[in-house]
Copies of this chain bind each other. A is one copy, B any other.
């Protein structure tokens, strides 16, 4: 009898201990101060937005009965939960927002999240006295080694708020000279408008934007200094450009924003004196504003450091932390490959579909990119450019943007790239919704063209 009354509580206590162990194992350590932030993030992530949008921690908050962030919908979706398809809306293929990688990070939520403590890096400098995280520099070297897209051994790294900040930092660094005449900043058409707009904005005594390289190719003299922007792959057309000008007074800035396996074959590691990269088109985190320059010459490096120091006192330490976490992920052998596989697959699928649609058209054509051996995938791979560089082929279709606009498609005018308006850039790196709506609109446009031709054929026969 005594034995029996003792066994009951013993049994109970044993069970409770077992249960606590199970719970502890399942939930990990007890969290204290970080729990609230984690709960907030999960609550926001749980707002599903019907798969056609997402809610953010800093989204505008519904003020009413329910006080939580609102869904930000993909274009052509609306309603509080993005469930309404807005059938008449325009397919917006203008911007280079890299949302094609968003689903990738959503499915790798655990390994890409960071919790930032309130006292994280309040000061200006890292422990080595610089504005640049040494750990992140190491990661960047490893990244290029792993991808094989750039030789960085022995080179210096400078960070910028996106590669945008580094464009002018590089122009500044390369233009300094005892010579009084400003350096001529040039590039090859079609080109990314930022080069021109930014160079003109600063209106410097040291450099001037002087347009297309073709104006200068056979016009080099010994006294004029040139700074040539070379974009490879090129924005808008995806070509693996090389410098056009060559000479002792010519310096090149290689913009390699798109030189990643998502968008292009990597025939060999780039090995130029000054190369720019950005996280925006690698992991898709354009909003974080983080880019880097790989520089061979120490004096150029020092000048770019001086520029970024006086311009913004370096890059946000919060942005650097975020990028560190993302690169940590990419540098894990398998995960890294998975990112590039995902990026490449998404982009080729889109390109194949686009080509298929336009193969039926005589009115519109796409740039030609040949399949090429890629040292990263170790195989010949199909093209998968970030943008379609669409041409309106008909003589009378001089304003291709307007023609697409009438078909409810928003592209970016050729003239924005200093090219003919017979061309339009269509962004292929936005969300899957964006791409599908674009494809749908293009299909209709091509179908109309064919219906029209059929009509003409039958009426002329």
Bound form: Cα–Cα A222–B283 in Å: 54
Tell me which residues across on chain B come within 8 A of A395, comparing CB atoms.
none
Tell me which residues across on chain B come within 8 A of A326, comparing CB atoms.
118
Beyond A122-B286, A312-B164, whether A33 also contacts B42 by CB under 8 A is: yes
Residue contact B39 to A28, C-beta cutoff 8 Å: yes
Tell me which residues across on chain B come within 8 A of A99, comparing CB atoms.
122-123
Beyond A37-B114, A318-B318, whether A310 also contacts B121 by CB under 8 A is: no
Say yes or no for A317: interface residue by CB 8 A criterion.
yes
Residue contact B72 to A117, C-beta cutoff 8 Å: no
Tell me which residues across on chain B come within 8 A of A113, comparing CB atoms.
33-34, 36-37, 115-118
Say yes or no for A238: interface residue by CB 8 A criterion.
no
Beyond A16-B15, A113-B34, whether A125 also contacts B108 by CB under 8 A is: no
Tell me which residues across on chain B come within 8 A of A39, comparing CB atoms.
28-29, 31, 34
1/0 contact string of A109-144 vs chain B (CB within 8 Å): 111111111111111110100000111100000000
Of A12, A117, A172, A319, most buried by chain B (CB within 10 Å of CB) is A117
Bound form: Cα–Cα A286–B123 in Å: 5
Beyond A42-B33, A316-B288, whether A122 also contacts B101 by CB under 8 A is: yes
Please tell me which stretch of A53-61, A213-221, A256-264 contacts chain B, meaning at least 4 of its Cβ atoms lie within 8 angstroms of it.
A53-61
Please tell me which stretch of A193-201, A243-251, A353-361, A398-406 contacts chain B, meaning at least 4 of its Cβ atoms lie within 8 angstroms of it.
A193-201
Residue contact B311 to A56, C-beta cutoff 8 Å: no
What are 22 contact pairs spanning A and B, CB under 8 A? A11-B12, A12-B15, A15-B16, A16-B16, A27-B31, A31-B31, A31-B39, A31-B42, A34-B113, A34-B115, A109-B119, A113-B117, A121-B287, A122-B287, A161-B161, A161-B315, A164-B311, A165-B312, A197-B310, A201-B310, A202-B202, A319-B319
